[in-house]
Amino acid sequence: MVKKQQHGFTLLELLGTMSIAAILVAFAVPAMTSTLKNSRMNSSVNDLVSSFNFARNEAVRRGVEVTVCRSTDGIVCTDAADWATGWIVTADVNGDGTFENSFDELFRVSEALSSGLQFIKSNAARVVYDVSGGAKDAGGNAITSTLTLCDSSQDGERGYRVTIAVTGHVSSRKLDPSDC
């Protein structure tokens, strides 16, 4: 009688492998959650900085004022809203200081931020870039704007501060948890 060789794993080997896999997953999930939250924060900050840089470049390139402003509907500027509700980038082609669908151009629409992300400080409802690339408020006064974005859903809140200089230059930096 010829013995057939069996292939496979014993129950003990299978249970050992499954327990090691469960331990690895238990350590990986929290790290992955933190990575996803950081990615969401970075993406939101990059979108905001990109919108300001785009507006500045378009103002200089086209020779018209370009505005970045808060918007709840993605169509018109809303001074009463929070930056977390979204923002738009528009060109004031006819030079009247307001956005009108029939005359002016809507370049970009940014949707509301993910839950947990919030602007805790903002000293400007809108930033207008003039034809030289300088930043000013809706009244035409040169301004330096600061927006502080924090993620309240993370332990030891993390955040960024976005600064728009009078010259129009945009910068961002990470904040200490105590600044949020």
pLDDT of residue 50: 95
pLDDT tops 70 at residue 157 = no
SS3 78: coil
pLDDT of residue 154: 61
Dihedral over Cα of 59, 65, 66, 68: its sign: positive
User: Which domain, by its residues, includes 140?
Assistant: 11-179
Report residue 105 CA to chain centroid gap: 23
CATH number at residue 136: 3.55.40.10
pLDDT in tens, 39-96: 888 888 999 999 999 999 999 999 989 999 888 888 888 877 688 888 999 997 776 6
In this predicted structure, the answer to whether residue 33 has a pLDDT above a threshold of 80 is no
Q: Which helix (H) or strand (E) holds 170?
A: strand 170-175
**73: in domain:** yes
Is 3 part of any domain? no
β-bridge pairing 66-70 and 87-91: antiparallel
Residue 136 included in any domain: yes
Residue 126 to residue 165: CA distance in whole angstroms: 14
* pLDDT at position 38 over 70: yes
**Within a domain: residue 5?**
no
Q: Is residue 6 included in any domain, yes or no? A: no
C-alpha to C-alpha distance for 148 and 157, rounded to whole angstroms? 12
Buried b vs exposed e over 125-152: b needs ≥16 C-beta within 10 Å?
A: bbbbbbeebbbbebeeeebebebbbbbe
Q: Domain for residue 19, yes or no? A: yes
Domain count, the chain: 1
Question: How many CA atoms lie less than 13 Å away from 93 in the CB half-sphere?
Answer: 9
Residue 118 included in any domain? yes
Q: Note the pTM of the prediction, 2 decimals.
A: 0.79
pLDDT at residue 180 is higher than 90: no
Choice between 96 and 27, residue whose per-residue pLDDT is larger: 27
